[in-house]
Structure 1
Amino acid sequence: MTDLLSNLPLFATDRQLAVAIVGKERAAMWVKTVIPQLERKGFPRVDPLHDGRPVPLVKKFYDSYFGITAGFAVPDGPERLGEWKGRRKPIDD
C-alpha cells in the first residue's frame, strides 16, 4: 500500500488531502462533511500563510486517531525469564 500523503506538498489543500485519504470518488463528500467533524477532534486547521493544512500534522493526527502512537501494551517492568521455577497449571478437559 502506498502512503499517498507522503506524495503531497508540505501544506496541502483539503481537496489534495481528501484524494490522498479517501480517493477521488469520495473526496467532495469528505471535504464537505468529514473535515468539520474531524476539526472538532483536533484535525489540523488551514494555515492562512501557506493556504493549506500541514501534512505532517495530518499524519500525526491520524496516527493518534487510530491509536498507532499509543501502542498496544504498557511494559510493567523488565523480563526475568530465568527466575520462574514453577509448573504450568494443568488444563481441565
Structure 2
Amino acid sequence: MNNPDDDLRDGGIPGQAKQRRAKRDTRRTTVTLEQLPLFADERSLSEALLGPGKYTHWRAVVTLLEGRGFPKIDGLMGGRYTRAVRAFFDREYRIHGDSQISKPHQPANLGAAWKKR
C-alpha cells in the first residue's frame, strides 16, 4: 500500500516518491550485440541493433533484411546467430578487417555513354 509518510520522508509532495521509483525501475543500460548470447531472441537483437523501444520497427524491417541474406532464426537454438548478424552488417556496410584488402576501384569513365563513335 502507498504510505503518505514515504512521500514526505523522500522530501517531496505526495505521489512524487512513487513516480521516482517507477522511473528508476524503467531505466536500463544499453545492450550491445557483443553482450548478447550466441543465439539471441528477436527482442534482444532489436534492442542491441536499434535501441530500446524499437521492436515494432524491427519486426517490419527484419523480413526485408532476410531477403538480402540476413541470418534466419535457428529453429533448434531458438534465435539468430549473433556472430552471423554482425558479419551480415559488416558485409552490408563494407567493413573490412586489417588483413582484408578490398579490390581496387576502377577509374570512372564519366560521359562514356555520350562519346561519339
Tell me how many residue pairs correspond in the alignment.
Answer: 73
- Structure 2 portions without partners, runs of 5+: 1-29, 105-117
Partner of 1:60: 87
* Structure index of larger Rg: 2
Structure 1 pair 20–73 and aligned structure 2 pair: CA distance change class (3 A)? same
- Structure 1 portions without partners, runs of 5+: 75-93
- Structure 1 contact 15–28 (Cα < 8 Å) conserved: no
Q: TM-score, normalised by structure 1?
A: 0.69
Alignment equivalent of 2:40, drawn from 4, 8, 12:
12
Q: TM-score, normalised by structure 2?
A: 0.56
Tell me, in whole angstroms, the C-alpha distance in 1 between the residues paired with 2:101 and 2:56: 33
Counterpart of 1:50, as a letter, is M
Counterpart of 1:15, as a letter, is R
Tell me, in whole angstroms, the C-alpha distance in 1 between the residues paired with 2:48 and 2:67: 21
Over the matched positions of the two proteins, sequence identity in percent amounts to: 36
Partner of 1:23: 51
Deviation string for 1:54-78 (max 9, x for gaps)? 000000000001111375663xxxx
Partner of 1:89: none
Highest relative contact order (Cα 8 Å, sep 6+), 1 or 2? 1
> Matches of residues 64-83 of structure 1 in structure 2 within 5 Å?
64-69=91-96, 74=104
- Structure 2 contact 31–47 (Cα < 8 Å) conserved: no
